[in-house]
Every structure is written in C-alpha cells, then in structure tokens.
Amino acid sequence: MTEYSGGGDPRRSLELLWGVRERPKRGPKPRLTAEEIVRTAIALADAEGLDALSMRRIADELGVSPMSIYTYVPGKAELIDVMLDRAFGELTPPGDGTWRARLEHIARDEWALFHRHPWLLQITTVRPPMGPNTLGKYEYELRAVDGLGLTDVEMDSVVALVTGFAESAARVSVNAAEAERRSGMSDEQWWESVAPVLGTLVNEADYPLGTRVGTAAGQEYSAAVAPGRAFEFGLARVLDGIEVLINSR
Amino acid sequence: MTEYSGGGDPRRSLELLWGVRERPKRGPKPRLTAEEIVRTAIALADAEGLDALSMRRIADELGVSPMSIYTYVPGKAELIDVMLDRAFGELTPPGDGTWRARLEHIARDEWALFHRHPWLLQITTVRPPMGPNTLGKYEYELRAVDGLGLTDVEMDSVVALVTGFAESAARVSVNAAEAERRSGMSDEQWWESVAPVLGTLVNEADYPLGTRVGTAAGQEYSAAVAPGRAFEFGLARVLDGIEVLINSR
DNA sequence: CCAATATACCGTACGTCGTACAGAGTTTCG
DNA sequence: CGAAACTCTGTACGACGTACGGTATATTGG
C-alpha cells in the first residue's frame, strides 16, 4: 500500500502540522498528545517499517485502545503527513561553500535521512504536507542555487533534480538492505541460489555484455557498498551536468 | 504494501518466467494457463492499480474460485515477478545513432512504459526476476554505451544512472496523476484549498525564495505538463554530465 | 473395464487492516 | 446541580493472502 500525503482535510492537517490546536477547556485530562503519537509512530516505522505501522500497534505501544488515537489525530493519512514533516526537521541547511558543495551537502544529507527513516521512501510527496520543516527545506534548497544567474524556474528544476536523484539512489540502497533483511540472504547468496537454475535455462552467449559487465560489477563492488558507489558516481555526473548549465549563463 | 520481486522459490519462479513447465499427463483439463493469469493481472493493475490487484479479483475476472489461481502460480510474489518481466518486453532497443541518442531513447522508452504500467513503480527490483525480457533489457542498455572507452563498471554505472533517472522522473509524474485521480482535485484546486489556511499560519516573509520561486514555477508550468518538463530538463543535465565523463577518457 | 494415480478446483478458516458508530465515564462552566 | 464538552472504549464491517482438506476428473497400468 503506497501512502499518499496530503490526503486529509487541509484545515485539520495544517493545524496538526503547525501545532496550533488550542487545548480543550472541559472533559477528562487527555492522557496523550499528538506529538507523543507522532514520536511513537516514527519510532515504530523506523524499527519495523511502514507496513508494520498500524493504528492498533501505535495504541498498543502507548497503552491505550486503538480508537483513542483518533482523539488526537484525524486519521492515518494525516498522521503520516506529520511524520514526514517532523523527519524533514532533521535536515540541516548547507553552509557557505561553493554552489557545488552546497548541493552536495543537500544530497548527502537527504541520502542519510532516507537511511535513518526508510519509510519516507514509501510516501508520495507530490502534494507535500505544508509544515514548517517542509517549507524550510524548500527555502534553503533554493538559497543554495540563488545568485548563479539561473531563472526562478531553473532554480526550482535544479533543486528538484538533485533531491530527486538523492531519493532515487537512496531507494536502491534501502531496498537492497530490506531485501537482505527479509530474505535472510546476502546478494551473493541470492545470486548463488539463482545462477545454477538460470544456467540450465539460458545460453550465456545470448547475453555477452550482460554476462561480462554483470560479473565485473559484481566483483568490483560487494553488494554492501554498491549502492554507496552508485550514489557517488551519479551525484558527480548530475553536478557536472548542472555545471554545464551554469557555465552557459 | 510495497511488493518485492525475487521473493519466491527461485526454481519455481524461473520456470514460470521462462515458460518451461511441461504440461501434465493426467487429471482434468486445465481451464486456464499461467500466461492467461498474467495477462489478466496486468490488465487489472493497469486499470485499477497494484493495490486493487488481489488474487480474489483475478479469479473473479477469470470466472474461477480464488484458490484455483494457485494451481498455476505459486503465489502473488511470483506472479508479480512474471508481470514485471512481461512488461519489460514492451521496451524496444535503441537504434544506431550517437550514444546520446541511444541513451535518450532508453530513457524516453522507459518513461513511457512507466506511464502505461504505473504499478511497475511499486515493485522493488533490486533482485530482479531473471526472465528473458529483463536480461534482454540489460544487454541492449549496455550495448548503448559499449565502445566509448568506459570501463565495464562505468558502463554499468552509466546505464543505472540513466534508467534510475527515468524511473525517478516517471514516479513524480505518475504520482501526480494518481493524486489528481484520487482526490478529484487538480493541483491548482488543491493549492487553492490549502493556500488560504496556510496564509493564516505562515508569514510569507519567512520564506522569500520559496514564495517567489514557487509562484514562478507554478505559473510557468501547469501541473499537467510540469512532470514532462522536469523529465526533459533532468535528462539533458544527466546526459551532459555523462558527456563530461566520456570526454575525459 | 477397473483400480490407482495425478491433477484441477473449491469452501472454509485465520489473523490482519482502517475506522464508523454508539455509548460510558470524566471534567468544567453557568 | 445539571448540561455541555471532551476522552476513551468495544464492537463491527468488508477487505487481504493463503494453508488445509476434500471432491471431481482425466489418464495409466493391469
């Protein structure tokens, strides 16, 4: 189940994101806070993945009945919106180096964030939760490419390219780790279980480049480091491409 | 629920992928074939998404009971593996142009494939199904960057960068369309529902670049064309970056 | 022609999920 | 001291993948 951000009632979602709900005057003392629920949900998603994040599990963790959660949060979609914005709060703005150093910082920082919170990759952010950290992130990303002679639209495109690349590379890395965890097999072990059967079905000569290059890549990089190398390689190429654009201005 | 490819028994999976199952000598005539189930599943996923793809729905569609499906396919994971390989069969090898034209063809072809079969984006392919089309795809992708003076490992990295970029850009595009379908709101309508509430919570002066650039980007590109522009922009930058690498050899 | 065997197909059942709804208990205000 | 506002909970619905055991059907060997 892919989770969609921006799914709930916008007013209620935004109140939650900005924490502006005035506390009630009557009724029993609340046993929880929305923030506590968000923290618990993030810890659970970090430890067991987004698939294991259920309203029932969160309630268990907090020692209340499942339906109590709905007192503090309109539903699961809105909760995930807040989790996303809170996670973005861990990112740090780049410093004062070159534009290239600033974009590298942004990419590496996001790469690390996705590894700390792999569930972020399962949340679609085409309509992001308009919380303080999400807005702040966009702001400092744009600052990193301000004053380089790019148009406003180009600035937006460059930022989207770099963050999109970081997300894409992190996705490969996180999925590789997750596949290893689930299957209990390393990539090498997996390949050793597939290769013999594949050999009886396929003629290697039909795939000369795939056989040669696949073997070379497999030997050069163990599965444990391959995603990191792919990130570094791709980042260098993407920044080189952006440099071509900037130099043309 | 993210779906993982390569989850099932490798022998049974590979037999399915290569269609090598000898047909049974005794027992009742089969009413279906594995291929028929795969076709039905792909049509269903195309029309209603991977979340709507259930063994029960497939069985309904074919007029049999849910458990009958398991006569032809070991489980849902293996079925999805075959769906993936069959979809890759729609891709076409690049022609004889420059390396840049060949890589552009690969990226555009994949971009289009992900739009025809958006569910492909929900399947993790770190351990891809080793079917004929998946192997063929890797082979002609490598052929596109053969003979340029790159090392084997660099060839693999370049191909992964270009296809990873195409996938990443298509993901944004597909998610945007899906968000519109689900919510019944265009991006403009969504923004109009969020902006007024956001205005009461946020001081625009705190986000000067975000406000200016966000507005500019929103006006330049309607939501309907924005993902396509982002794809073209990013592809040009990525290929420029690869050109820098190739020229350095 | 008759059993033995292999296969196809199906009904039931289990433990998940998000959350609608109705009710019970608790605190504060007028 | 009510009434209103609020917190919390139990039950229920229809979905999911698939394990298991049973029954119907086709082919084979005698």
pLDDT tens-digit series, residues B177-212: 999 888 888 888 888 889 999 999 999 999 999 999
pLDDT tens digits for range B138-165 = 999 999 999 999 999 999 999 999 999 9
Reading the block at residue A229, the tokens are: 């190398």
Show residues of chain B in contact with A178, CB under 8 Å: 4, 124
Q: What share of residues in chain A are helix, strand, coil (percent, to 5)?
A: 70, 0, 30
pTM of the model as a whole: 0.94
Residue B157 near residue A172, CB atoms below 8 Å: no
A222 to chain B, any CB pair closer than 8 A? The answer is no
Residue B1 confidence class, pLDDT cut points 50, 70, 90: low
Quickly give B100 CA vs D25 C1' distance in Å: 59
Residue A193 near residue B10, CB atoms below 8 Å: yes
C7 C1': nearest CA residue: B27
Single-letter amino acid, residue A57: R
Rounded distance, CA B94 to CA B92, Å?
6
Region A103-114 average pLDDT: 98
Give pLDDT, residue B199: 92
Mean pLDDT, chain B, whole residue set: 93
Show residues of chain B in contact with A136, CB under 8 Å: 207
Show residues of chain B in contact with A238, CB under 8 Å: 237-238, 241
Q: Do A241 and B241 touch (CB under 8 A)?
A: yes
Residue B21 confidence class, pLDDT cut points 50, 70, 90: confident
Q: Do A237 and B216 touch (CB under 8 A)?
A: no
Mean pLDDT, chain A, whole residue set: 93
Reading the block at residue A88, the tokens are: 């973005």
Sign of the dihedral defined by the CA atoms of residues A47, A172, A121, B6, in that order: negative
Helix boundaries (H) for B184-225: 187-201, 208-220
Name the nearest CA neighbour of B141 among B92, B87, B81. B92
